Structure 1
Amino acid sequence: MIDQKTMEKYAELALKTGVNLQKGQPIMITAPIETADFARIVVRKAWEIGAKDVLMNWVDDELQLLKFQHAPEEVIGSFPEWRIKQYNSLAEEGGAVLNIYSTNPDLLKDVDPKRIALANKASGEALTKFREYTMTNRITWSIISVPTGDWAQKIFPNLSKEEAIKSLWDAIVKIVRVDQDDPIAAWEEHNKTLYKAHTILNEKKYKKLIFKAPGTDLEIELPEGHIWAGGSEKSTEGITFNPNMPTEEVFTMPHKYGVNGTVSSTKPLNYGGSLINHFSLTFKDGEVVDFKAEQGEDTLKHLLETDEGAKRLGEIALVPHESPVSQSGLIFYNTLFDENASCHIALGKAYPINIANGSNMTKEELDKHGVNDSMTHVDFMIGSEKLDIDGVLQDGTTEPVFRNGTWALDIK
């Protein structure tokens, strides 16, 4: 285990820099029961900061697996009305949301992918309104992770559970900068670096990005008025927060009809407790027209069939290969971490904040601007030390953005 002082620092970082909890604001925390010791520290500190209320959602991998194994299909394909009301009422009250995400990557490996797809579709439809609050920054939210036994042993299979948990704690503490004397100040400096990166990209106003690597030859058009973001964000109420901890990315949206070519994954994708690995997608006019996977192909198929928007891209994110997550040398089997080791793209819904005035546009206006809509948003990793990216400027000239997996622009 990790020492009490470090857990206290991490909890404080999640509340003050992650969601930036305000006095008098309610907060909803979701955490695995295995992380109860850490979660209780977070709850205590939330009360100490002055939270109006602290709502706790406990989750348990074993109970989830039992449900998938035994529940009738109509239950798998439904989402409780009381939970919808819980999420929506918290959002309407301007609450903060902190998710401690630490799922066993192999949890549902033996479950029929159709049942997983049913559950994902049900939750996607049920939480549409809540997702609008988060993806337009109408509330503050953040995702962090702490070790659980099964997850840790997936990363460190040759260690005992206790040793694996300790090793994963050591990696996480370093990656999220909790090992530093003042993690909050360290994150302020880190956010400044990411701000510089997306400011430079916004000044470029690229028309198109071209990705080339082994198994990847992809062109992505960027919509007019697209906006690069990354690091800290501001809610519509003006509160600065960090949605992901760790984060090493700057990101924007593609034009939903402007993606052509083939892209190959470089890290496993843990999708709803089922792994998809060594897969590739081929796009034509923005839509996936062919796909294959060495592992989890049926799961990938069901993901793409979630709705029409699931076959199109909603995000492009640039992450240099020398990021702390990448330099750890670990595959985390957890998108929160793996996406911050590698450039990645996302199937599904785009963030309206990534286009000028997008948070105030109707669905029809967003669609007219080439903004993808879906009930899902799934990131997968395409970056490596072999990735080159070129940017096509407004006058048609091309310049290097990434070479050999890192910035070719003067970002540092």
Structure 2
Amino acid sequence: MNINMLEKYADLILRTGLNLRKNQILLINSPVECAPVTHVIAETAYRLGAKDVVIVWKDELFSKIRFTYAPEDVFDEFPDWQKEMYMSYLRQGAAFLSIAANDPELMKDVDPVRMMKAQTASSTALKEYRESLMSNQNVWCVISVPTASWAKKVFPELEEAKAVEKLWEAIFKTVRVDQADPIEAWKNHKFNLKQRMNYLNAQGFKSLHYRNSLGTDLTIELPEAHLWLGGSEFTPDKTEFIANIPTEEIFTLPKKTGVNGKVVSSRPLNYNGHLIDNFSLTFKEGRIIEFSAEKGYESLKSIIETDDGSHYLGEVALVPYDSPISNSKILFYNTLFDENASCHLAIGKAYPVCLKNSGSLNIEELEAAGVNDSLLHEDFMIGTADLEISGINKFDQIVSIFKQGNFVI
């Protein structure tokens, strides 16, 4: 670990990612393996004027033990005190940082049904908290740092220490910390994303059509009042933040009942320590009616069967094949990075902020507008070097958006 680079990374996360304000509380969800990095971020936050830093530690090795040996009914419960903790900090206007770093195959021998029970209990208990973040009521950001097991999965040919070092180098590059002034580099990056976002919003697309040689042939209708977002986002009081570092995507929401055809995955999906690979989904009037997977079928099934909303899509995201993470030729086995190397979709809950005036709509009105709701939001990658996307705009013109995997706009 290069301490100078790490300090630049922490500074970028807090000043650009979260736009941390003086006297604001910072809550960090962190794997225990990431403690040295988490401590640097916490120290930096205090130096920037944070009122306090709260760290919620996650221990995935213990989680595996618990999923393997605990009575099954335990996973139907979620502690009230944990729910109240998150809601308390939410009400205090805290900033929320999550470190997404786990062993991609640690849970491969764990019953996915047990894991889904725990996921459902957690998502149900924390529904208000999750909805607040997805509606940008508080600033939030997801980042990652290497762990030994993850690094060895990405670079299996290297010794552990070398694998971790190489993964650090890859992360620093993809988040632009390797540049002389990362914060200025992100200002330029946000500007470039906004240019494409503004073009897509001006077109007012009614639908998109995806095709590639893997077998994807999918039509996605968009709600009339949809908005494309990308780069930075804003809270109701206009505080700017970046939800994912890195980010290369421009995204919106699909019309819940307007998805038809077949889509084929282009990269493995790491879901709760289970790898799902070479899978496809078939849609009719928005709903998944068929699915298959060469690897991780039961995990894919558990995702889709979380609730009724998890049978539908909640996000449409555009990422050029010719982008920094894709060009690295590294398969990260981590959705935060892999989704920013590829066009992707998400099963489950839509981001209400992708609909104009969504803050004034209740649940029934959002549903009527085509906004999907679910306990789950799970991204999966579909972008390829030969992906073509066209759209029908508000003038009923057919407009080419992607050719050979890249924007033509």
Q: Deviations over 1:102-137 (max 9, x none)?
A: 011101100111111111111111110001111110
In the alignment, structure 1 residue 104 sits paired with structure 2 residue 107 = no
In the alignment, which residue of structure 1 is the partner of 2:280? 280
Q: CA deviation at 1:395?
A: 3.4
Q: CA deviation at 1:397?
A: 2.3
Q: CA deviation at 1:88?
A: 0.8
Please give the alpha-carbon distance, in whole angstroms, between the structure 1 residues aligned to 2:320 and 2:21. Answer: 33
In the alignment, which residue of structure 1 is the partner of 2:206? 207
In the alignment, which residue of structure 1 is the partner of 2:388? 388
Please give the alpha-carbon distance, in whole angstroms, between the structure 1 residues aligned to 2:335 and 2:358. Answer: 26
In the alignment, which residue of structure 1 is the partner of 2:289? 289
Q: CA deviation at 1:74?
A: 1.5
SS of alignment partner, residue 383 of structure 1: coil
**Percent of aligned pairs sharing the same letter:** 48
Q: Cα RMSD over matched residues?
A: 0.8
SS of alignment partner, residue 396 of structure 1: coil
SS of alignment partner, residue 340 of structure 1: helix
Please give the alpha-carbon distance, in whole angstroms, between the structure 2 residues aligned to 1:394 and 1:241. Answer: 30
Q: CA deviation at 1:62?
A: 0.7
Q: CA deviation at 1:360?
A: 2.5
In the alignment, which residue of structure 2 is the partner of 1:160? 159
Unaligned runs of 5+ in 2: none
Q: Deviations over 1:354-399 (max 9, x none)?
A: 0101123110110010000001000000001110000112233212
Q: How does 1:312-327 map to 2 (within 5 A)?
A: 312-327=312-327
In the alignment, which residue of structure 2 is the partner of 1:227? 227
In the alignment, structure 1 residue 179 sits paired with structure 2 residue 178 = yes
Which amino acid counterpart does residue 184 of structure 1 have in structure 2?
I
Which amino acid counterpart does residue 135 of structure 2 have in structure 1?
T
In the alignment, which residue of structure 2 is the partner of 1:236? 236
Q: CA deviation at 1:65?
A: 0.8
Q: TM-score, normalised by structure 1?
A: 0.98
In the alignment, which residue of structure 2 is the partner of 1:340? 340
Q: CA deviation at 1:266?
A: 0.2
Which amino acid counterpart does residue 80 of structure 2 have in structure 1?
E
In the alignment, which residue of structure 2 is the partner of 1:355? 355
In the alignment, which residue of structure 2 is the partner of 1:217? 217
Which amino acid counterpart does residue 268 of structure 1 have in structure 2?
P
In the alignment, which residue of structure 1 is the partner of 2:119? 120
Q: CA deviation at 1:167?
A: 0.6
Q: How does 1:125-136 map to 2 (within 5 A)?
A: 125-136=124-135
In the alignment, which residue of structure 1 is the partner of 2:269? 269
Distance change >3 Å, CA 154–CA 358, structure 1 → 2: same
- The number of aligned residues is 408
Q: How does 1:23-34 map to 2 (within 5 A)?
A: 23-34=22-33
Please give the alpha-carbon distance, in whole angstroms, between the structure 1 residues aligned to 2:393 and 2:86. Answer: 42
Which amino acid counterpart does residue 43 of structure 1 have in structure 2?
A
Please give the alpha-carbon distance, in whole angstroms, between the structure 1 residues aligned to 2:142 and 2:112. Answer: 26
Please give the alpha-carbon distance, in whole angstroms, between the structure 2 residues aligned to 1:80 and 1:238. Answer: 33
Please give the alpha-carbon distance, in whole angstroms, between the structure 1 residues aligned to 2:289 and 2:185. Answer: 44
Please give the alpha-carbon distance, in whole angstroms, between the structure 1 residues aligned to 2:103 and 2:58. Answer: 12
Which amino acid counterpart does residue 324 of structure 1 have in structure 2?
P
In the alignment, which residue of structure 2 is the partner of 1:84? 83
Q: How does 1:62-81 map to 2 (within 5 A)?
A: 62-81=61-80
Please give the alpha-carbon distance, in whole angstroms, between the structure 2 residues aligned to 1:185 and 1:201. Answer: 25
SS of alignment partner, residue 192 of structure 2: helix
In the alignment, which residue of structure 2 is the partner of 1:372? 372
Please give the alpha-carbon distance, in whole angstroms, between the structure 2 residues aligned to 1:360 and 1:90. Answer: 24
Which amino acid counterpart does residue 264 of structure 1 have in structure 2?
V
In the alignment, structure 1 residue 50 sits paired with structure 2 residue 49 = yes
Q: How does 1:142-161 map to 2 (within 5 A)?
A: 142-161=141-160
SS of alignment partner, residue 339 of structure 1: helix
In the TM superposition, structure 1's runs of 4+ consecutive aligned residues that sit over 4 Å from their partners are: none
